A and B are shown apart, each in its own frame.
Chain A
Amino acid sequence: AQTVTQSQPEMSVQEAETVTLSCTYDTSENNYYLFWYKQPPSRQMILVIRQEAYKQQNATENRFSVNFQKAAKSFSLKISDSQLGDTAMYFCAFAPAGNNRKLIWGLGTSLAVNP
């Protein structure tokens, strides 16, 4: 079965510091896409960053970057210079080829940024 594991249910970080959220996945597919989505309290889910599995270069988006280790099936999210607005649930998801393009989601990590 294809699964996504986020081993940290809750995390906290001080404002302006750096935090890394972990994500591992299990698949026999060689091609897939990986995503981090953010869901702030009572607000809608938005895409943070997206990685294509065949690209070795790690994706970055302003303060957000990923460490993609394909052999280890690991896809961690690093948030630099954390801001209060980064407080949210963060979901890791992947879309393997041949899965009817369906996203497989982790259970999420609740991140609190403290002033």
Chain B
Amino acid sequence: EAGVAQSPRYKIIEKRQSVAFWCNPISGHATLYWYQQILGQGPKLLIQFQNNGVVDDSQLPKDRFSAERLKGVDSTLKIQPAKLEDSAVYLCASSLGDVWGETQYFGPGTRLLVL
């Protein structure tokens, strides 16, 4: 079974530029999560999709971050414009359904450096 795929793996941009990350979840997984992991911290949930609907985006900085999940499969997370404090690893995860307590499967992450 193929795992969660993410691209790019690394990205360096200057502040005020825009950037987009892509995620392809495990086939058949209905729930998709985007996390931000700042160095030395645990993951912080940015947005959670159930199929192509948003379940939770309470911690997404909506003035600069946006995310979509077209057709309930792939997802894209965008930052526009980027700030220095956005430097982090962006993790995508997926789970089979929306069952409480189920395992989340993570991708390798995209490491973003904003200069």
Residues of A within 8 A of B (CB): 4, 32-33, 35, 43-47, 50, 52, 91, 93, 95, 97, 100-103, 105-108
Contact = CB atoms under 8 A, between A and B. Distances in A.
Contact of A95 (B48, B100, B106, B108): B100
A29 B55 CA distance: 21
Contact of B107 (A4, A44, A102, A107): A44
B104 interface: yes
Contact of A101 (B42, B43, B98): B98
A52 B99 CA distance: 13
15 contacts: A44-B3, A44-B4, A46-B106, A47-B103, A47-B104, A50-B103, A91-B42, A100-B48, A100-B55, A101-B100, A101-B101, A102-B45, A105-B43, A108-B40, A108-B42
A45 B100 contact: no
B3 A103 contact: no
A102 B75 CA distance: 19
Interface of B: 3-4, 40-45, 48, 55-56, 91, 93, 98-101, 103-109
Given A44-B108, A46-B106, A102-B56, A95 B101 contact: yes
B85 to A, nearest CB: 18
5 shortest A-B CB distances, which residue pairs? A105-B42, A33-B101, A45-B106, A44-B108, A44-B106
Contacts of B98: 101
Contact of B100 (A47, A91, A97, A107): A97
Contacts of B91: 45
B42 A93 contact: yes
Given A93-B42, A103-B45, A107-B40, A33 B100 contact: yes
Contacts of B45: 102-103
Given A43-B108, A44-B3, A46-B106, A107 B41 contact: yes
Contacts of B44: 105
Given A44-B3, A44-B108, A100-B56, A50 B101 contact: yes
Contacts of B3: 44
B104 A103 contact: yes
